[in-house]
Amino acid sequence: MLKKMFLVLALLAVAFSPLRVEAEIFIKGVYTKLPVHQFKFDGKTVEVIEFMSFYCDGCYSFERAIPAIKGNFPKKIKWKTVPIYWGKGSPKPGEAYFLAEEAGKGEKMKEALFRAHFVEKKNIGDVKVLEEIGQKIGLGTDFSKRLRAGDKAKDVQKALDMAGAYGIEETPTLIIAGNIMTNLHPFNHNTDAFRENVMMILKSILK
């Protein structure tokens, strides 16, 4: 009797596993499925991990598309920004972002960093520039102290390690529902086409 009960529980576990949910969902759009990672969808909300760089033109362009994506799926998307840097880029903008995020000002910092780099042509790897940005968005002296001390250096390294684990090769790249990877490359870096593709993928999951 006990063996039968365990068998029934095992079958139920398989029946309601995320893998089965994925099998029942036909996901439209252009993407790469990551076999090493598990599809995750609880039937209500989808996590979207955005790997981006504050030095990246495509990320700056795509930033304007994110509100439209979120607006089409109110309360159904959990959006996570993971800043990374390439080559000669500085880790400091990422550290500044993580400090601001901790203070509830992550989005303001993200917007300010993009504006400083692409519009104002400032060196966002310069701590003094980052301190000025911090002051403008309402972060106090504690922000400056922690930025100079490298309090979030480990978080930046974790972000890089995470990008490596997902096989991220360019930014922006999104990981949707745990193992659906998509980026600008197939769309010749057209952010409008990329936005539509992201929305198509999300509609397929959230329908």
**Residue-wise pLDDT tens digits, 76-103:** 999 999 999 988 899 999 999 999 999 9
The full length of the chain comes to: 207
pLDDT for position 207: 84
- What is the sign of the dihedral through the CA atoms of 60, 62, 66 and 68? positive
Q: Indicate whether 21 pLDDT > 60.
A: no
Residues whose CB is less than 8 angstroms from the CB of residue 168 and which lie 6 or more positions away in sequence, other chains included: 51, 84
Kindly indicate the confidence band of residue 2, based on its pLDDT and cuts at 50, 70 and 90: very low
The 10 Å Cβ neighbour count of residue 108 is 17
**Residue-wise pLDDT tens digits, 153-174:** 999 999 999 999 999 999 999 9
From residue 13, alpha-carbon distances to 16, 29, 101 in Å are 5, 29, 37
Q: What is the mean pLDDT of residues 33-42?
A: 95
Beta strands in 36-186 (DSSP E): 46-52, 77-83, 173-176, 180-183
Kindly indicate the confidence band of residue 6, based on its pLDDT and cuts at 50, 70 and 90: very low
Sheet of strand 32-33: strand arrangement? 32-33, 180-183, 173-176, 46-52, 77-83
Q: Indicate whether 43 pLDDT > 80.
A: yes
**Residue-wise pLDDT tens digits, 99-130:** 999 999 999 999 999 999 999 999 999 999 99
**Residue-wise pLDDT tens digits, 135-148:** 999 999 999 999 99
Q: Indicate whether 3 pLDDT > 50.
A: no
Q: What is the mean pLDDT of residues 181-205?
A: 96
User: What radius of gyration, in Å, describes the C-alpha atoms of the chain?
Assistant: 20
The 10 Å Cβ neighbour count of residue 140 is 10
pLDDT for position 24: 60
Q: Among 51, 35, 61, which residue's Cα sits nearest to residue 170? A: 51
